[in-house]
Amino acid sequence: MSRIVYVNGTYLPEEEATVSIFDRGFLMADGVYEVTSVLDGKLIDFAGHAARLDRSLRELDMDSPVTTEELLEIHRRLVAENAIDEGLVYLQITRGNPGDRDFAFPEPGTTAPTIVLFTQAKPGLADSPAAKKGIRVISIPDVRWGRRDIKTVQLLYPSLGKMMAKKAGADDAWMVEDGFVTEGTSNNAYIVKGSRIITRQLGNEILHGITRAAILRFAREAQMEVEERPFTVDEAREADEAFITSASAFVMPVVEIDGQVLRDGTPGPVARRLRELYLDEMLKAAV
Ligand code: PDD
């Protein structure tokens, strides 16, 4: 069944949705995005995603075509029109179509940004079989640009990373720079030593995950110890547990790193508890 999507102020069937070939998102990856998950037909942490979107736009000197209130309304209407119970809403804003290809940004006020939103249904998102089994990751070099804190649509290297993982018979890849893990291809990376949760500190090297912020808050509220610092692949291979977080994976246990099985190869208690805590708390606050 065809979806209803949103393009520049209009709700329409996906087959009728178009964007110009001159759009800078298409030609230059000059755009930012957000992914917000939907559980029980409600948006998880919409406020967090809206705040990060504003920051990404500001960092790139890009205008937003909509207010946060309008954005919430668009998200809700798409969830309702497409009858999404479990799934996600994808949002992208680009610097628009200046009429020609040019490296320089268009003069301020001359080019309207492009905004596109669509839904993806993902039945079984919360009760995911992968979360019960855990995933296997490999490590790969991090060769992305230096502003990974901005959520841009430049996703070619993360795509290549997922393909490298697939080829190696793994589920995902952790990227490594100067000897330390930065993050997963589309998620933040964590290890657990004893009862301590260790994850890289915020900076330009990683995306400031919205799920990461919530997880660290819940962990601290539950008196769990959190250490924000870089870690190596060797340290991770010897950890008691590992996991990743993202808006679409929530908390996903990692049971193997570069062929080294962690624990007995099953999800650990810290990752399991954090996943439960996250889903419980976020469902209560969903809008
Ligand atoms: N990815 N790091 C990277 C590189 C990411 O692409 C993502 C999200 C995260 C986790 O951020 P959050 O918790 O805010 O989702 C970390 C999304 C889900 C995606 O590209 O589909």
Q: Which atom of ligand 1 is nearest to the CA of 206?
A: 2
A 10 A CB-CB count for 179 gives 10
At 83, list the tokens.
């009858």
- Is the distance from CB of 3 to CB of 127 less than 8 angstroms? no
Contacts of 225 (CB under 8 A, 6+ apart): 195, 196, 197
DSSP 15: G
Token pair 């952790």 is at which residue? 174
At 224, list the tokens.
């769990």
- Is the distance from CB of 205 to CB of 182 less than 8 angstroms? yes
Domains for the chain: give ranges and CATH numbers: 4-121 (3.30.470.10), 129-285 (3.20.10.10)
Q: Is the CB of 64 under 6 A from ligand 1?
A: no
At 136, list the tokens.
């296997």
Q: How confident is the model at residue 36 (pLDDT cuts 50, 70, 90)?
A: very high
Q: Is the model's pLDDT at 108 over the cut of 80?
A: yes
Q: Is the CB of 172 under 6 A from ligand 1?
A: no
Among residues 42, 132, 151, 284, the one annotated as catalytic is 151
Mean pLDDT of the chain: 97
* Centre of ligand 1 from the C-alpha of residue 255, in Å: 20
> In this predicted structure, what is the pLDDT of residue 3?
97
Q: Is the CB of 152 under 6 A from ligand 1?
A: no
Task: Quote the CA–CA distance of 144 and 221 in Å, as a whole number.
Answer: 34
Task: Quote the CA–CA distance of 198 and 37 in Å, as a whole number.
Answer: 25
Q: Is the CB of 282 under 6 A from ligand 1?
A: no
At 75, list the tokens.
């998200």
* Residue 162 annotated among the catalytic residues of the structure: no
Q: Is the model's pLDDT at 1 over the cut of 80?
A: no
The continuous run of DSSP H or E covering 211 comes out as helix 210-221
> In this predicted structure, what is the pLDDT of residue 219?
96
> In this predicted structure, what is the pLDDT of residue 45?
97
* Centre of ligand 1 from the C-alpha of residue 168, in Å: 22
Task: Quote the CA–CA distance of 74 and 84 in Å, as a whole number.
Answer: 14
> In this predicted structure, what is the pLDDT of residue 168?
98
